[in-house]
Amino acid sequence: MPVVRISDDAGDTMTLLDINERFFPVLRTPGYDQETEIRGMESWEARCNDVLVCAYPKSGTHWVWEIVNMLINQKATRIPSMKESAMLEGSSRNIMQSMSSPRILNTHLLFCDIPRDFVEKKCKIIYILRNPKDVAVSFYNHHVRLLDYEYSGTWRSYLPRFLSGRVDYGSWFDNVLHWHEATKSLPNGSIHVMTHENLHTSTEEEIRRLAEFLGVGCNNKLSREICEMCSFSVMKQDKDPLEDASEWKHGEPGIYRKVNRDRANIKSEGTFFRVYKKDRWGIGETGSRWHRTRCSQPCMNRKWRTRTLHWSTDTTKSRAYLGHFFNITSRQKRPQ
């Protein structure tokens, strides 16, 4: 298995799986051939009533996956498993085939890397956005606390790593832009885009919007019950016991943690905007620390490589899209 140790500017290393220039977390599940399953994923079969929840890591996948399950089941009952049990890149073809319908699945993959059958069968696809400043802090806590990463770097050395995509699933910027292009390439309404911030501040309204997209009913009583069951405190209480504490530093599960961006030095926010305004779009200094030599993300899926998206061909629209996101998230209350 192509396990690599990726170093940051301070020399701290992180253990990841490298498959076709894509970084993944290393899963050490006995009997599970992670590399073989990921490489063979392009031929996996979808079902017409599948629902796929997609997001960059630490953007609210657990939260939305739980909500979607309750909406599909039409009752606010806790799902007795973690979302990893239904995660494309963390599962196998056989496990996926054995799941009963409708399957509520999730992934952190780019659009071009999900099995093509999900698009051809017009499955419901949901994409979640979250302020990258909060994603970075949450991902940092995830990386230093989960033992499989073998990472112990500081926030000062981690931020450049995050911004340059030297983490599992690569760059947040590339991920968001890739999915933005995907929403434009498909018929209107094929992908439901939602933000973590709106879900936090207007939970019931976002739940009803999600229900409308899924084509299921959701009266005020159901939306209120789902809202209560999916609150941070209740989910942490119910889900933490399902985690394997031995995988976490000090034996303390860290999936459900409140974000405290102030602790990670709020001054670092300026770095995000410098990257956003200049280097990520190839219009800054070519000698910049964050300059990318590639203008596109290569697709793992060989059949889809012809659809690789080049951000430089649509720089103005891409900047406007992300600029809007930065503006709306900076005005809203910080998510917990």
Strand 22-24: give its sheet, edge to edge: 3-7, 13-19, 22-24
Cβ–Cβ under 8 Å, residues 248 and 257: no
Length of the chain counted residue by residue: 336
Q: Tell me, yes or no, if 108 is annotated catalytic.
A: yes
What ranges in 186-314 are assigned the alpha helix state H? 196-201, 203-214, 220-229, 232-239, 269-277
Q: What is the DSSP string of 201-212?
A: HSHHHHHHHHHH
Angle between helix 269-277 and 315-331 (nearest 10): 160
DSSP designation for 146: B
- Longest Cα–Cα distance in the chain: 57
Which residue in 62, 108, 142, 178 is the catalytic one?
A: 108
At residue 122's C-alpha, the angle toward residues 180 and 199, to 5°, is 50
CA distance 55 to 126: 8
In sequence order, the β-bridge partners of residue 54 are: 107, 127
Interstrand relation of 124-129 and 51-55 (parallel, antiparallel or unpaired):
parallel
Active site residue ranges: 108
